[in-house]
């Protein structure tokens, strides 16, 4: 089954404790992206990757890191989480970056709800 | 930075009625427009795309685009309780002055009562 898998789905942590949210897709997609979704603010892009070893900042990158060492994986790293990073996080992928413009089709993972105390 | 505006709702309609969801966008150069549906607690999924002025129909869903007015809408005919969800309007754009992203509106919550 074609899917984007995120882990953990739910996490409660404390300020300053480093954490990683993993994302893996099995569709051989080149493009991957992380969004956060907050009430009243909608979905906002954190980071994206056009392909292996190619990553760049989105609109709200502060406090986050990413890496793309393999095509299928795109982990999101919070080096020192703070309460303002409490949010619902979505990983998404698309066949190619250009496909986002052409078809608008992003395949989303199920989401990871993160609470930072 | 492109902006996409939607009325947050909630929009409440009775079963069988037509639900009309509206979206405006800031970039007159935008060429493609998408509607995503997000059920509560779930991830967004693409349900419609439209590229040309006019209407595009897919089953009970009709997307309407008016580029001159920078306006795109989604009509849901014969609304069902299963249509109750948040509907997100999206346009492709760049983020942080470079790159590729779908720029999403904040979404309109639709509630269909039986």
Strand A112-116 relative to strand A10-13, pairing: parallel
B36-82 pLDDT, tens digit per residue, is 999 999 999 999 999 999 999 999 999 999 999 999 999 999 999 99
Distance CA B9, CA A23 (A): 32
Q: Answer for the pair B48, B35: CB distance below 8 angstroms, yes or no.
A: yes
Q: Do B102 and A103 touch (CB under 8 A)?
A: no
Q: Write out the DSSP string of B50-77.
A: E-SSEEEEETTEEEEEETTTTEEEEEES
Contact A104 B92 (CB under 8 A): yes
Q: For A45-82, give the secondary structure using H, E and C.
A: EEEEEEECCEEEECCCCCCCEECCCCCCECCEEECCCC
CB contact under 8 A, B100 and A101: yes
Region B101-112: mean pLDDT is 94
Q: Per the CB < 8 Å rule, is B43 touching A108?
A: yes
What is residue A92's three-state secondary structure?
strand
> How distant is the Cα of A71 from the closest Cα of chain B, in angstroms?
17
> Tell me, what's the pLDDT at A99?
80
The SS3 assignment for A102 reads: helix
Determine the average pLDDT of the residues in B10-20. 97
Pairwise CA distance, residues B2 & A24, whole Å: 29
d(CA B47, CA B36): 5
Distance in angstroms (rounded) separating the CA atoms of residues B70 and B30: 9
B95 pLDDT exceeds 80?
Answer: no
SS in 3 state form for B89-113? EEEEEEECCEEEEEEECCCEEEEEE
**Phi, psi angle pair for A80, to nearest 5°:** -145, 80
Specify the pLDDT at position B39: 98
**Predicted confidence band at B109 (pLDDT cuts at 50, 70, 90)?**
very high
pLDDT at position B99, please? 63
Give the best residue of B101, B104, B105, B109 to mutate against chain A (max A CB count within 10 A): B101
Instruction: Give the angle subtended at the CA of B112 by the CAs of B109 and B114, to the nearest 5°.
Output: 160
Share of chain B above pLDDT 70, in %: 94
Q: Give me the tens of pLDDT residue by residue for chain A, a chain 117 residues long.
A: 989 999 999 999 999 999 999 999 999 999 999 999 999 999 999 999 999 999 999 999 999 999 999 999 999 999 999 999 999 999 999 998 878 778 888 999 999 999 999
CA distances from A99 to A30, A96, A103 (A): 10, 5, 5
pLDDT at B111 over 60: yes
User: What is the predicted pLDDT for the residue at A12?
Assistant: 97
Token output for A60: 């709200």
């Amino acid at each position: 089954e074609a899917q984007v898998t995120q882990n953990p789905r739910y996490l409660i942590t404390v300020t300053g404790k480093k954490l990683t949210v993993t994302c893996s897709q099995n569709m051989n997609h080149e493009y991957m992206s992380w969004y956060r979704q907050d009430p009243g603010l909608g979905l906002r892009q954190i980071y994206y990757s056009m392909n292996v070893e190619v990553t760049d900042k989105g609109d709200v990158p502060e406090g986050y890191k990413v890496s793309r060492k393999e095509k299928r994986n795109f982990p999101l790293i919070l080096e020192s989480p703070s309460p303002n990073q409490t949010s619902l996080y979505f990983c998404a992928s698309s066949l190619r970056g250009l496909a986002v413009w052409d078809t608008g089709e992003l395949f989303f993972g199920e989401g990871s709800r993160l609470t930072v105390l | 930075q492109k902006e996409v505006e939607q009325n947050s709702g909630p929009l409440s309609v009775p079963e069988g009625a037509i639900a009309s969801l509206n979206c405006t966008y800031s970039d007159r150069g935008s060429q493609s427009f998408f509607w995503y549906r997000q059920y509560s607690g779930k991830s967004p999924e693409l349900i419609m795309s439209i590229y040309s002025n006019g209407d595009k129909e897919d089953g009970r869903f009709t997307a309407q685009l008016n580029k001159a007015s920078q306006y795109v809408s989604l009509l849901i005919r014969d609304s069902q309780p299963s249509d109750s969800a948040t509907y997100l309007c999206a346009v492709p754009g760049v983020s942080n002055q470079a790159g590729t992203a779908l720029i999403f509106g904040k979404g309109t919550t639709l509630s269909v009562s039986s």
